[in-house]
Amino acid sequence: MRAALLALLALILLSTLSLLVGATGLDARSLTNGEAWALIRDSRLPRLLAALLTGASLAIAGQIMQLIARNRFVEPMTAGTGQSAILGILLVSMLLPGASVALKMTLASSVALAGSLGFFAITQRLPPAQPLLVPLVGLVYGGVIGAGTAYVAFQADMLQYLEIWTSGEFSGTMRGRYELLWLAGLAVVFSYLVADQFSILGLGQEVSLNLGLNYRQVVLSGLVVIALITGLTVVTVGMIPFIGLVVPNLVSRLAGDNLRRSLPVTALAGAALVLAADLLGRLVIHPFEIPASTVIGIIGAAVFLWMLYGKGSAHAA
């Protein structure tokens, strides 16, 4: 409860700052003539909502993936799911250049689901006594998919186009260009409603079956949630790594492993981290910006290494 309250207070403070910070300042004159309100309505509020939805949904997707894999060191953007979503976007852009955003999202989510299934098929063959192999295999697996995607983009002279999706940032988020992320918010709500089933899933297949859980159905629903969230976020704002890795691990240390109790904290903390990274990226070289994915990549990589080689490695299984 205390962790949730702290995350909520941080989120309120960051949200207020997000509406006030930007290349164009807000003054009394702009507030009087309505220009400031139009700027907030059309640009800053959509950007704020996009950051909140992205952070919350990616953190939940990472927590679900860790439960399915029974490993705390995996998350969609570093285990092939995000790279597969970008591959889906690239394919639909090449084959159907006039495709709508909804069609791009659908294909990106479908390929992301296939990528997740491939990752879990590989990890099933890894020795359970060496849990650190799972994230390392995930990094290699994602790297192979990313390299293949880059090769296809190079052959089609679309490398520059590909960079748009690999760099996650919110500068282009405006009203009418982020609304698909509300579907990711619905996926988060669904995850909370079935949180108890996901908790049982984390106990392993044998225990889950003995407790009467439809193991395959719950695993498939979890993978669909992961693929949907990943596809939506990549199509809308690009790839933002480490949210699904760092946030669930930190929350588990503060709020424990009761998923129904920790899931809201995970969502709030993920939203706060992405929003903080977006704010920092706007302020470091103001009025220019650093992509939020770059800021989070630096922080997330450091925390990931700490979890691998520090005290966090004891919680891998």
pLDDT tens for 69-85 read 887 888 888 788 888 88
Number of domains in the chain: 1
Instruction: Determine the Cα–Cα distance for residues 250 and 270; give it in Å rounded to an integer.
Output: 10
Q: Which residue has the higher pLDDT, 23 or 69?
A: 69
Q: Mean pLDDT over all residues of the chain? A: 80
- For residues 69 and 76, give the distance between their C-alpha atoms in angstroms, rounded to a whole number: 11
CATH assignment of the domain containing 275? 1.10.3470.10
Q: Determine, yes or no, domain membership for 45.
A: no
Whether residue 27 lies inside any domain: the answer is no
User: Which residue range is the domain that position 278 belongs to?
Assistant: 54-312
Residues 168, 170: Cα–Cα separation, whole Å: 7
Q: Is the pLDDT of residue 233 over 60?
A: yes
Distance CA 77, CA 213 (A): 28
C-alpha torsion 176→178→184→188, nearest 10: -100
DSSP H or E stretch at residue 115: helix 101-123
pLDDT at 257 over 80: no
> Does residue 110 lie within any of the structural domains?
yes
Asked if residue 125 is part of any domain, the answer here is yes
Within a domain: residue 15? no
DSSP symbol at 178: S
Over residues 198-225, mean pLDDT: 81
State the pLDDT at residue 24. 62
Q: Which pLDDT does position 317 carry in this prediction? A: 43
Q: What pLDDT shows up at residue 33?
A: 59
Other CB atoms closer than 10 Å to residue 161's CB: what's the count?
A: 14
138, 74 contact by CB (below 8 A): yes
Q: What is the CA radius of gyration of the chain?
A: 19
For residue 266, being part of any structural domain is answered with yes
pLDDT at 30: 54
Residue 28 lies in a domain: no
Could you tell me if residue 9 is inside a domain? no
Confidence of residue 14 (pLDDT cuts 50, 70, 90): confident
